[in-house]
Amino acid sequence: MPKIRHDQVDIISRSRATVAEGYMVIPKVNRCNSVLPQFENVEAFVLATPDIGAKFIEHELVFAADGRTRSCINDPFEHFLYVLEGGVKLTIGEKTRHEFTEGGYAYLPPGTTFSLENTGAEESRMLWLKHRFMPWEDLAPKLYIGSEKDVTSRPGQPLLPFADDLAYDLGMLIVNVEPGRGISQVETHIMEHGLYMLDGQGLYWLNGAYHEVMKDDFIYFARYCPQYFYVTGESTGRYLLYKDVNRDYDDML
């Protein structure tokens, strides 16, 4: 049982956690740590799994100074990695290495063999999303390495070229909403979403209910969940958003 951080626990923050029809809100202070066998000296905080109906898995990984994968990960899934804090080294195969700091990210096609390691003397945090790729004819997505610092701050900034390349069946983007503004419409998406608040705070309207959200909150949206976001704080509301794209839904028939 981890020691209680009294500076992070209060009545209001505990009560913001919600699991409801069509969505789920999990603030950072309400998440419980777990251990995954693939990692050594790494805490895993489970954000989304098929247990809630999601078609993807998402974790927040907290690497101690010597945190790493125990061995190479080699599975049939496609992976997306995003560094929240600190520095993480990604090794693909045995030789190709990429070092990421805050805002660095990577998309790994299905079947990619890789390992991860904290590169600093302090704790590092990373989001890890994995999804079962839906093939279509001979389309094959490519490895993609990038940094949020290299993309413009449009209201919705894609981190992957999914709009131009139908090989990608998932979209990852940074959404920026200025203070006193909201997203363009109340959306009832056919896509499901995993949303991680990077900065700011605001009100999220989810399936008829308002929820206050802030930095480090995670939200899961099921398909067709009506949703709308409005920034209430003095800083830009920023979140990392996953959505499934570029495929028909005939696999559900």
pLDDT score of 6 more than 60: no
DSSP code for 73: B
Report the alpha-carbon distance of residue 33 to residue 243 in Å, rounded.
Answer: 25
Query: Can you count the helices (H) and strands (E) in the chain?
Result: 1, 21
Token pair for 205: 């309207």
Give yes or no for a contact between 253 and 195, defined as CB atoms under 8 angstroms apart: no
At 91 the pLDDT is 97
Please state whether the predicted TM-score (pTM) of the whole model is above 0.85: yes
pLDDT per position as a tens digit, 187-241: 898 899 999 999 999 999 999 999 999 999 999 999 999 999 999 989 999 999 9
Report the alpha-carbon distance of residue 126 to residue 122 in Å, rounded.
Answer: 13
Token pair for 190: 């056919």
Report the alpha-carbon distance of residue 145 to residue 83 in Å, rounded.
Answer: 12
Give yes or no for a contact between 215 and 200, defined as CB atoms under 8 angstroms apart: yes
pLDDT score of 251 more than 90: no
Instruction: List, in order, residues 6 or more apart from 172 with CB less than 8 Å away.
Output: 80, 82, 105, 107, 129, 158, 159, 160, 162, 240, 241, 242
pLDDT score of 4 more than 80: no
Give yes or no for a contact between 163 and 188, defined as CB atoms under 8 angstroms apart: no
Token pair for 21: 């029809």
Which domains are present in the chain? 6-252 (2.60.120.10)
DSSP code for 210: E
Q: Average model confidence (pLDDT) for the chain?
A: 91
pLDDT per position as a tens digit, 33-46: 999 999 999 999 99
